[in-house]
Amino acid sequence: MIQIVIVLNKTESLDELIQKLAENGISGGTILDSYGMARSLRGEDDNPLFSMFKEFVDLDNNGSKVIFMIAEEAQVRTVSRVVNEVTGGLQNPNTGIMFCTPVVYIEGLHKNGEKSKNGEE
């Protein structure tokens, strides 16, 4: 199993992204509102380093959405393709990022009809 994390800065693509993922057999996940560390620098005017950094960051951005999913390794390429099609490409600025990590242990995730460790559905 693989954990897929998508930090979507292009939040206007969220509904279409979820729909297209479902159409491609990818469902289930958690979506959280988030914002980058730079947004929390608004009140740090005393530090000259933070002041310089804020000049390069769009602090008027409305934040982002973080999507967490657990998927089979074979589904990662499908998710990547759909994300890039819907967003116009993660290589574009202020679009988002996607990364994956292996899941070495999971508990509480049951697909329809699957039995849990103790034999219950």
Specify if 18 maps to a domain.
Answer: yes
The whole-number pLDDT of residue 52 equals: 54
Q: How is residue 33 annotated by DSSP?
A: E
Range of the domain at 19: 2-33+63-102
Could you give the CA distance from residue 63 to residue 31 in angstroms, rounded to a whole number?
Answer: 13
Q: What is the CATH number for 10?
A: 3.30.70.120
Per-residue pLDDT of the chain (121 residues; tens, 9 = 90+): 999 999 999 999 999 999 999 999 999 999 999 987 765 665 555 566 555 555 555 555 568 999 999 999 999 999 999 999 999 999 999 899 999 999 999 998 876 555 545 444 4
* Residue bearing tokens 């074979």: 74
Q: Count of domains in the chain?
A: 1
Q: Provide the CB-side half-sphere exposure for 3 (13 A, CA).
A: 12
Q: For residue 109, which of 33, 29, 20 has the smallest C-alpha distance? A: 29
- 19 belongs to a structural domain: yes
Residue 57 lies in a domain: no
Contact 30, 68 (CB under 8 A): yes
